[in-house]
Copies of this chain bind each other. A is one copy, B any other.
Amino acid sequence: MLILMSSDHTKKQLEGVLARVRSLRLKPHVIPGKNSVAVGITGNAGALDKALFEGLPGVREAVRVTRPYKLAGRDFKHEDTIVRCGGSEIGGRNLVVIAGPCAVESEEQLLRIARAVKRAGAHMLRGGAFKPRTSPYAFQGLGREGLRMLATARRETGLAIVTEVLDQRSLDDVAEYADVLQVGARNMQNFALLKDLGKLKKPVMLKRGLSATLDEWLMSAEYLLSEGNDQVFLCERGIRAFSDHARNTLDLNVVPAVRELSHLPIIVDPSHATGVRARVAPMARAAAAAGAHGLMIEVHDRPDQALCDGPQALHPDDFARLMRDLAAIGRAVGRPLAPRAVRR
């Protein structure tokens, strides 16, 4: 931590800061500047709270010198984490693709789409049984019944299941059926839910919140890790900016940033990031070229009848074409598409 004193601080105010540092059994280092003075602090075991200093008279700002997270950072664990789900490894050398409908609508719909994405080479199956919807009047998912359909699809296709957990009440049910539990963007800072998920022994996919900084995102991962669950991977799905030409603003820049700062794998969801079918494939290709460990893509064979997010779903034929592009790009950038999933 570094404390920047305001330019008109008094000698007494500086002494107050030094006293506060010492009272915390830490060591202050005064760094004189031209117009002002800074105080470096050493001796702390974990991250210090800026608020310990920013309220003191004469203090302009407290600047963190070390990152606020610990377990999620490369200082703690240098080598890449690999998350194993079903027969796939996320975070290793290969590109992994999760595909399926936005929502489970019926067993028939799910099986049709599951078979199609498997045929095209997808490694895991996505499908929402509990859906977070902006409107209380929109389709909220089939719930427990949807989970059972996902289990059926897994049995039929051998694909591992990724599905969202919305709240603490349905957590046990989702954990019973899912191979990977998804935390949605709107729940990224639902800390109570994160704590519960941290106690599970199942992989968790943590989506980035609409307005989450990278530090905040990794701090949410820290909630999972600090409770003991180290099977965690991240998913960038677009952030909220002023732009109005797409549903969200895909922040691919965060992919190399995550890989630099954290050992956790990162995948990209181009479907929510764009909201428009025609832009899903370009952004999926871009994410693969940027070095993402995987992709999650919405596919529907009858998108105009979909109960949720039809306009962003790829048709199975388009998805198959995209898989071929991804294979070519993967070869070009040294991250080949993972081998086809085999039934466990």
Q: Is the CB of A7 within 8 A of B332?
A: no
A303 to chain B, nearest CB (A): 5
Q: Is the CB of B256 within 8 A of A243?
A: no
Q: Is the CB of A222 within 8 A of B136?
A: yes
Q: Is the CB of B135 within 8 A of A219?
A: yes
- Interface-located stretch among A113-121, A151-159, A188-196: A188-196
Q: Is the CB of A65 within 8 A of B38?
A: yes
Residues in B whose Cβ lies below 8 Å from that of A252? 250, 252, 282-283, 286
A210 close to chain B: CB less than 8 A = yes
Knowing A74-B7, A290-B282, the reply to whether A34 touches B45 (Cβ < 8 A) is yes
CA distance A54 to B311 in the complex (A): 6
Knowing A66-B36, A278-B260, the reply to whether A214 touches B243 (Cβ < 8 A) is yes
Q: Is the CB of B213 within 8 A of A244?
A: yes
Knowing A213-B245, A329-B333, A333-B285, the reply to whether A42 touches B34 (Cβ < 8 A) is yes
21 contacts between A and B (CB under 8 A): A7-B74, A35-B66, A51-B311, A63-B63, A136-B219, A167-B168, A167-B190, A168-B192, A214-B244, A239-B243, A240-B242, A243-B251, A243-B253, A246-B254, A246-B257, A255-B282, A256-B279, A256-B283, A282-B291, A286-B289, A325-B332
- Interface-located stretch among A25-33, A88-96, A104-112: A25-33
Residues in B whose Cβ lies below 8 Å from that of A288? 289
Residues in B whose Cβ lies below 8 Å from that of A222? 135-136
Given A31-B40, A239-B242, A283-B290, 6 more A-B residue pairs with CB atoms under 8 Å apart are A35-B66, A134-B219, A167-B168, A249-B251, A250-B251, A288-B289
CA distance A66 to B166 in the complex (A): 29
A219, A251, A255, A282 pick with most chain B CB within 10 angstroms: A282
Knowing A189-B186, A192-B166, A287-B286, the reply to whether A241 touches B249 (Cβ < 8 A) is yes
Can you list the 8 inter-chain pairs with the closest CB atoms, starting with the nearest? A167-B192, A328-B332, A211-B211, A289-B289, A31-B40, A286-B286, A186-B189, A241-B241
Residues in B whose Cβ lies below 8 Å from that of A238? 253
CA distance A168 to B165 in the complex (A): 14
Q: Is the CB of B186 within 8 A of A167?
A: no
CA distance A56 to B313 in the complex (A): 12
A80 to chain B, nearest CB (A): 15
A47 close to chain B: CB less than 8 A = yes
Residues in B whose Cβ lies below 8 Å from that of A148? none
